[in-house]
Structure 1
Amino acid sequence: MTPQLHSEPQPRQDLSLLWPENTRPSSPASRNWPGNSIRDTGLTELLEFLKFSSGVKPGAVLAEALLDLCTDQQVIGYRQEVLEDVLFHPELEIRLKAVLPQITTLTDYVASRDRRLSPLHEVSWRLGELELYLQCVEGLLEALQGVPLKSQGLRDLHHHLQAIQQDPLFASLKKELPEMQARFGGLASISIGVNLDAQLKPVEATLLAVHGEPFKGAPLLGRLFGTRPKEGSSNGMGPLHVLPFRQEHIGGAHFQHHERQDTLLHPLFADLARIIGDVAKPISKGLAQYTSLSGKLLARLEPEFHFYLGATSIIRRIQQSGLPMCKPQIAPMQERTCQIEASFNINLALRHLARSGVSQADLKGTIKTNPVDFSDTGRIFLVTGPNRGGKTTYTQAVSLAQAMFQAGWYVPGSQARISPVDRIYTHFPVEERPDLETGRFGEEASRLGEVFQKATSHSLILLNESLTSTNLTESLFLAEDVVRGLRFLGARAIFNTHFHELARNFEQINASVSGAARVVSLVAEVETDPEGEIQPTYRIRQGLPQGVSYARRIAAQHGISFEKISKALQERGVTSTEHTPTES
């Protein structure tokens, strides 16, 4: 008795490795990144590293996973578990990488299917899609087999794939597909009978047979009349239509094949296509029972596999370089904390690895780590220090870690506890635009105003050398007002500034306005080498600005102390000329 075939078991409608059931948002992820914040924070560069590590162009799903700034603790934990299943089981990573090219090809089938295909081409397309579907289901099952999965996402996927495999419809397809492919692939040539009238004009044509081999053999008429077959034909005495051949060399080998053309433009071939389509109808009818089998689910999961494999690759590279990566503890959003030990800028580390060209270069002595501590003791950091001393690198390190945490990744550091943020706002210098009626300062003020119109106490605000486009007195006054506003708002913020007086007065600012975010002063340290030159250490610590003495030393290094200026002028032959009043 033929087993009763039933449809494929329906998965959870939104089965995903990124989103637990009923948690996927409907609005786009870009809502959380106003203005130029994606570029300012370094996320654009990290997406490029993810592209390189995953081997694919960052599409909407990959970008969404890093940029959505998910605030749901359940979702973040769900992703962390999937990541650790892949990270902790190298054999699973290897197996997933092996089956992923097939899933990618299946995704192409699903995405590019042309519904205007002829019945003949529809059969060919469907046979290829179902073959890939079988390979992907069984390949994923093999990849997941025997792995002690802890994540709900991969366990749900495994159970669903097992249900597919146990379905009689799947078993029937696995059994019948090779036979259908053989029957369809066996259409290599046909025999046509043509009846002629008394004047030897063709009046009727009939399909006589379908063959599994290309037509060879000289026709009787050709032997009778001694006509030789034309070059390139299949031994016929007079081919009605032949597609031109094209020569091609691949890897040293020589290939000859028909050029791709629309053969249906030729009337004879158009008629034959309709006839062969009738021959393919039994195969099409056999395929009809598998309509419910579709690669759409696996196509939806394909970029999610790339996301986790890319993340795993980046984490392994960083860990192998001697730098720490850790799973951050998820703190409640209302706690507004970000505490990381031995934090560093992951883009900086990946840049060093890319330049070295060595997969396991030692970066422990190259990349400096710093603590991050947004807590009740301080949520607004005023960071001072010399140019190229690490202020911007530190600021981007914080924002990158925040985004990675909310994507479900590990973060750079040895230990971390982080609360989600709702948005990340940046106010970095932009090129001056002559077309702006308000000028550069007006543009700066406008962008800062937008931040305070939209930011909440759960936002992260990053200011880099803001309010430097007007005179010093006004800039200092306005910068202090901005810091007071940040304290009143209660958001986490980093303000990189050259206003040393602003940083020295942080306690006065705390006392002058009430708020849930205390202001603290951080400094990018420098040190004096044996030759007396000032060198940045790239270490950020709590403390007051190091003063103008370092500024003078750094300026002297670049030749702008009076002593060095006068010496350079004298070496050029310029001498001081004392001018006296001209006597009348």
Structure 2
Amino acid sequence: MTLRSIMFRDPDPDAASTVDDTAPAYFADLNLDQVVSAVVAGRERYALEPYFYTPLPTAADVEFRHAVFQDLERSAELHEAAGEFAVRMRAVRDGLERAEQTRDRHERNGWFLEAARGYVDAVQRLDRRLAQVVMLSEGLRDLRDELSDLAFATEFTELEASAGAVADALTGVRYTVHIKGSHVRVSAYEDSDDYEQEVTAALARLSPDDDGEPSTRRTRIGTMNPVEETILGLVAELEPAVFAELQSFCDRHRQFVQPQVDLLEREIQFYLSYLDFVARTAPVGGGYTYPQVSDDTVMVRARDTYDLSLAILSSGSGSPIVTNDIVAEGPERIVVVTGPNQGGKTTLARTFGQLFHLTAIGVPVPGRSLTIGLCDTIATHFAREESGADAHGRLEEELVRLHEILETATSRTVMVLNESLASTSLRDARLLGAAIMRRMIALDLRAVYVTFVDELTQAGPTVVSMVAEADADDPRIRTFKVVRRPADGVAHAEVLAKLHGLDYPALRSRIGRRAERSAASSRRTE
């Protein structure tokens, strides 16, 4: 039996295995590594990261995944059924882990049996609940049909019957425990009064906790104390046929979790993890949307979008974050962002790159609406932190990286350049930046270019100018709004002022030092 993947439109089971185990090179620049870490937190056992690394090849594949998300959002019953399945399968995994950690053979087999019964129950309950839910997505409808077939397949029904028979046999085991002082003996069941409470109390006295206080709780999760092990061993000798059947069951069904169910559990966790993340971060950003996506459009029209890594930081405090529009349509391809420092330019650049990646993996994206086309790759160039290298060395390193990107870029590449060429003079930045712009325009690729060189906004009709705004009454206050309008020269002024030690922090420091010297001089005169 096979189960339909709910992650990949291709019904071939091998499609689900073609995922990337390594994060794309641009992940750190776009803070997507932080986003994925936040999404999968608490679900590390499922190794979900590759699903978030791997872009889908076509718009149809993206829409396939959107439909599953939308079914889960639209139907509370379906979302609950998926969550219940995840919880029950987690209990199965916990049971198997306990079995592995248990030293006593009979107890180990008991944990294994309970895990197998829990597995049967998880699959059957999901099958029944899916049969009662209206689903629109191709992936979930096909899954419902195939899961029903699996639940009635010979292999599965034999597992159910065998587990039930062994459990019934174990439930029917009756025996008598004789306790005299510190001696324990087990014999065939004697029809007498029920001394369960007295026995429990006696066993507690024989097996104190580490702190010396009596307790009926097992000293370690999944393990029995020595007295319990002794009693269980004696019971097994008393009922050898029953315990032999338990051992036989465990041997026959050593790998009872079928690979297709194992994969289904992991895929469900992908959807649940991201929907949980959406619920946590949507309030601070204003919501999520399903993008209108195509294979051939070059348009980017994002309304009220925002940086997900910023939403993660803000979700802890509940403070809302500023959203922005990013629009490049018609002949427009390259968004050049200028304006004062610390005004949201880098955040906008990261958001631009995030939108393309999030769209490509088929998840809801931050914002009110988005129309976008898929790309073949994302290339980022962010200014590196200053090291011991001089400005000439840093410039050389920047140019080498930019050359490598442009040599392999195509018209379907998306580039995100942030403060590139900041290590050189304004004159050289103009010349080199203009050359880079000409190359990007010739390639007809989509890009965001954050720069202090205002002239780059005038490179041609394919270029859109956006400016990070400051408060109209106090330019030192940033609004974090980045709006579409011509560059205003503020970025030039800030760069020049900083270059000559005339920016606001430098001037304030110099004035403060002068005031201190004047005060000291006055005190000496007195």
Q: What does 1:164-563 correspond to in 2, within 5 Å?
A: 164-167=150-153, 170=156, 173-174=159-160, 177-184=163-170, 212-213=174-175, 215-216=177-178, 229-230=181-182, 233-234=183-184, 245-247=207-209, 254-255=215-216, 257=218, 280-285=243-248, 294-320=257-283, 323-332=286-295, 334-356=296-318, 363=320, 367-434=321-388, 439-503=393-457, 505-507=458-460, 518-529=462-473, 532-548=474-490, 551=493, 558-561=504-507
Question: 1:118 and 1:472, CA in 2 relative to 1: closer, same or farther beyond 3 A?
Answer: same
2:199 aligned partner: none
Q: Output the amino acid matched with 1:535.
A: I
Question: 1:106 and 1:326, CA in 2 relative to 1: closer, same or farther beyond 3 A?
Answer: same
Do the aligned residues in 2 keep the contact of 1:506 with 1:520 (CA within 8 Å)? no
Q: How many residue pairs were aligned?
A: 491
Is residue 43 of structure 1 aligned with residue 32 of structure 2? yes
Q: Output the amino acid matched with 1:56.
A: R
What do residues 290-329 of structure 1 show as CA deviations (whole Å, max 9, x unaligned)? 7895343222222322221122223334555571322111
What do residues 322-371 of structure 1 show as CA deviations (whole Å, max 9, x unaligned)? 71322111212x32332212222233233222123xxxx7x3xxx33222
Is residue 101 of structure 1 aligned with residue 87 of structure 2? yes
Do the aligned residues in 2 keep the contact of 1:344 with 1:370 (CA within 8 Å)? yes
Deviation at 1:452, TM superposition (A): 1.9
Question: 1:488 and 1:163, CA in 2 relative to 1: closer, same or farther beyond 3 A?
Answer: same
Question: 1:559 and 1:436, CA in 2 relative to 1: closer, same or farther beyond 3 A?
Answer: closer
What do residues 20-49 of structure 1 show as CA deviations (whole Å, max 9, x unaligned)? 213727655267722xx2111021121132
**Whole-Å Cα distance in 2 between the matches of residues 377 and 485 of structure 1?**
16
Q: Output the amino acid matched with 1:425.
A: A
Q: What SS does the aligned partner of 2:178 have?
A: coil
Deviation at 1:387, TM superposition (A): 1.0
Deviation at 1:388, TM superposition (A): 0.9
Question: 1:77 and 1:567, CA in 2 relative to 1: closer, same or farther beyond 3 A?
Answer: closer
**Whole-Å Cα distance in 1 between the matches of residues 214 and 87 of structure 2?**
25
Question: 1:158 and 1:451, CA in 2 relative to 1: closer, same or farther beyond 3 A?
Answer: same
Q: Output the amino acid matched with 1:568.
A: G
Q: What SS does the aligned partner of 2:257 have?
A: coil
Is residue 17 of structure 1 aligned with residue 17 of structure 2? no
Q: What does 1:68-87 correspond to in 2, within 5 Å?
A: 68-87=54-73
Q: Output the amino acid matched with 1:24.
A: A
Question: 1:399 and 1:216, CA in 2 relative to 1: closer, same or farther beyond 3 A?
Answer: same
What do residues 511-558 of structure 1 show as CA deviations (whole Å, max 9, x unaligned)? xxxxxxx223221122322xx444222222232221249946998883
Decide which structure has the larger Cα Rg and report it.
1
What do residues 88-142 of structure 1 show as CA deviations (whole Å, max 9, x unaligned)? 112322332233122123346679987xx99867854652332122121123134
**Whole-Å Cα distance in 2 between the matches of residues 25 and 113 of structure 1?**
30
User: What TM-score, normalized by structure 2, do the two folds share?
Assistant: 0.79
Question: 1:249 and 1:487, CA in 2 relative to 1: closer, same or farther beyond 3 A?
Answer: farther
Q: What SS does the aligned partner of 1:247 have?
A: coil
Q: What SS does the aligned partner of 1:336 have?
A: coil
Q: What SS does the aligned partner of 1:335 have?
A: coil
Q: What SS does the aligned partner of 1:234 have?
A: strand
What do residues 551-576 of structure 1 show as CA deviations (whole Å, max 9, x unaligned)? 46998883545xx677534422349x
**Whole-Å Cα distance in 1 between the matches of residues 131 and 62 of structure 2?**
25
1:241 aligned partner: none
Q: Output the amino acid matched with 1:506.
A: A
Q: What SS does the aligned partner of 1:301 have?
A: helix
Q: Output the amino acid matched with 1:527.
A: D
Do the aligned residues in 2 keep the contact of 1:248 with 1:256 (CA within 8 Å)? no
Deviation at 1:425, TM superposition (A): 1.3
Do the aligned residues in 2 keep the contact of 1:248 with 1:255 (CA within 8 Å)? no
Q: Output the amino acid matched with 1:429.
A: A
Q: What SS does the aligned partner of 1:573 have?
A: helix
Question: 1:498 and 1:59, CA in 2 relative to 1: closer, same or farther beyond 3 A?
Answer: farther
Question: 1:492 and 1:108, CA in 2 relative to 1: closer, same or farther beyond 3 A?
Answer: farther
Do the aligned residues in 1 keep the contact of 2:218 with 2:225 (CA within 8 Å)? no
Deviation at 1:432, TM superposition (A): 3.8
Question: 1:285 and 1:253, CA in 2 relative to 1: closer, same or farther beyond 3 A?
Answer: closer
**Whole-Å Cα distance in 1 between the matches of residues 21 and 399 of structure 2?**
23
2:121 aligned partner: 135
Question: 1:340 and 1:110, CA in 2 relative to 1: closer, same or farther beyond 3 A?
Answer: farther
1:239 aligned partner: none
Q: What SS does the aligned partner of 1:528 have?
A: coil
User: What TM-score, normalized by structure 1, do the two folds share?
Assistant: 0.72
Deviation at 1:185, TM superposition (A): 6.3
Do the aligned residues in 1 keep the contact of 2:106 with 2:233 (CA within 8 Å)? no
**Whole-Å Cα distance in 2 between the matches of residues 87 and 524 of structure 1?**
35
Comparing 482-491 with 139-148, greater Cα deviation is found at: 139-148
**Whole-Å Cα distance in 1 between the matches of residues 374 and 97 of structure 2?**
35
Question: 1:391 and 1:136, CA in 2 relative to 1: closer, same or farther beyond 3 A?
Answer: same
Q: How large is the RMSD of aligned CA atoms in angstroms?
A: 4.2
Do the aligned residues in 1 keep the contact of 2:86 with 2:265 (CA within 8 Å)? yes
Deviation at 1:442, TM superposition (A): 2.5
Question: 1:216 and 1:432, CA in 2 relative to 1: closer, same or farther beyond 3 A?
Answer: same
Deviation at 1:182, TM superposition (A): 4.0
Mark the runs of 5 or more structure 2 residues left unpaired by the alignment: 187-205, 522-526
Do the aligned residues in 1 keep the contact of 2:98 with 2:111 (CA within 8 Å)? no
